[in-house]
Chain A
């Protein structure tokens, strides 16, 4: 199939970017979206042009690295997948495809389609950990009885891959879904109780400092999350935060 691509090109963080038109022929429906970009880049390199920079790593939907806004949606038109899991069979011959980087003040563009998501790292560092005694005889986590539905809910939250689709999808560029998933995965478990009040306060404080927007409960993040992280996590974080702050 032949595609008309509109892709954000930006030389570096300090240079203003723009949308650039490309036409790519010979795209097969069984190619992944990233393979399509690989082919475009090979063409650009063979013509002596600068290839398009984009983030990718595992190419199996678990690393959260690929981060493209495709035709106005994070990770493209399909749900519960990352860009590397998106295939060209989701498009038709002659389609125009608009490809942009995540847009958020807290995610500045480094080059072309690559954004700096270290804001997420700093939120995680602010409280996304637990205190565990390490020694030659570590206590097995499985020795603590945990109800199955609680363990499952914690695991659901822990499946967040930190890709940033929630921020990209939110009209307010809010990072509440990411932060709430990281808060929830510990808040639900006994091992996470030691630092629970400080954790939620510190992570929310860092989230606000990074310049993410406020959540207005549109629910866009939940729909676009490739791992199906639920809005229930945001409600849980709100409860945790209010409880921790009121208790002081």
Chain B
């Protein structure tokens, strides 16, 4: 088993599994977010459940954070190893002739998403932790919708979110299908996986961007 931890193939699989795990989280996240557009009441209920259910808070949340850390730390490790594997660069390298821009620049789309996660954690997670565990405020199942909409009032924050979703789309465009190849899946289902990847990579980030823009354009009037 030690070989599985040290080898290049194991590192690929770690990237693939952590990536797919984060993809499933995205589905859950975008579903709850869409509720904020359709039904503020349901959004409040779902957010309250996610915020106070012990299973979500003490099991799923740490696993999710671990998944994010594993994915980006392994991404950095791979990038450093890959750069070291070519100690002298070509004076002319025509990567566009044989591969897509997104596949060659996963580290950059990933870095933008990581930076976005910093802002996103500051906006929502730090706020939530402070509310619950530092200020020790009482439970309020009705606060989430208003807090979310308020976050998207500043134009700059909405722009940063939307741009980050574009980069997320590019990251998924390569990453989703690529994770199957890394795990050894390349068969008659591969064209379907690739098509699904393209649909997923457009629809999910587009939904996130729509929600951010919707709340920016439809502020709560007091």
Q: Which residues of A contact B (CB under 8 A)?
A: 6, 19, 69, 71-73, 77, 98, 100, 103-106, 169, 171-174, 176, 201, 204-205, 207-208, 211-220, 223-224, 231-232, 234-239, 241-242, 245-246, 248
Q: What residue of chain B has the Cβ atom nearest to residue A70's Cβ?
A: B92
Residue-wise interface mask of B (85-97) relative to A, using a CB-CB cutoff of 8 A (1 in contact, 0 not): 1111111111101
Cβ–Cβ < 8 Å partners of A174 in chain B: 8, 82, 85
**Is B95 a contact of A220 with CB atoms below 8 Å?**
yes
Q: Is the pair B98, A223 in contact by a Cβ cutoff of 8 Å?
A: yes
- Smallest CB gap from A239: residue in B: B184
Question: For B82, what are the chain A residues with a Cβ–Cβ distance below 8 Å?
Answer: 171-174, 213-214, 216
- On chain B, the residues within 8 Å of A223 by CB distance are 97-99
A100 CB, min distance to chain B CBs, angstroms = 6
A245 touching B103 by the CB < 8 A rule? no
CB < 8 Å neighbour of A6 from B87, B91, B185: B91
Assess the A100–B92 pair: CB atoms within 8 A: yes
Q: Nearest 5 CB-CB pairs, A to B?
A: A72-B94, A213-B85, A235-B186, A239-B184, A172-B82
Interface contact A216-B78, CB-CB below 8 Å: yes
Query: In the complex, what's the smallest C-beta–C-beta distance from A241 to chain B, in angstroms?
Result: 5
Write out the residue numbers on chain B whose beta carbons fall within 8 Å of the beta carbon of A71.
92, 94
Q: Determine whether B11 belongs to the interface, using a CB cutoff of 8 Å to chain A.
A: yes
Contacts of A238 in B (CB 8 A): 9, 12-13, 181-184
* 17 cross-chain CB contacts under 8 A: A69-B92, A72-B93, A171-B95, A213-B81, A214-B12, A215-B12, A217-B103, A217-B181, A218-B100, A218-B103, A223-B97, A231-B181, A235-B187, A237-B9, A238-B181, A238-B184, A245-B10
B4 and A246: CB pair below 8 A?
yes
B72 to chain A, nearest CB (A): 15
User: Looking at B10, B82, B178, which has the most chain A CB atoms within 10 Å of its CB?
Assistant: B82
Q: Which residue of the partner chain, among B4, B91, B182, contacts A217 with CB atoms under 8 Å?
A: B182
Q: How far is the CA of A75 from the CA of B73 in the complex (A)?
A: 35
Does B8 contact A232, Cβ atoms closer than 8 Å?
no
A75 and B4 alpha carbons, distance in the complex (Å): 35
| A169 touching B98 in the complex, CB below 8 Å, given contacts A103-B86, A105-B85 | yes
Across-interface contacts of A248 in B (CB, < 8 A): 1
* B7 at the binding interface (Cβ < 8 Å): yes
Q: Tell me which residues across on chain A come within 8 A of B3, comparing CB atoms.
A: 201, 205, 245
Given contacts A173-B85, A204-B8, A245-B3, 13 further A-B contacts (CB under 8 A): A72-B97, A73-B94, A104-B86, A106-B85, A169-B98, A174-B85, A208-B8, A213-B81, A213-B86, A216-B82, A242-B4, A245-B4, A246-B1
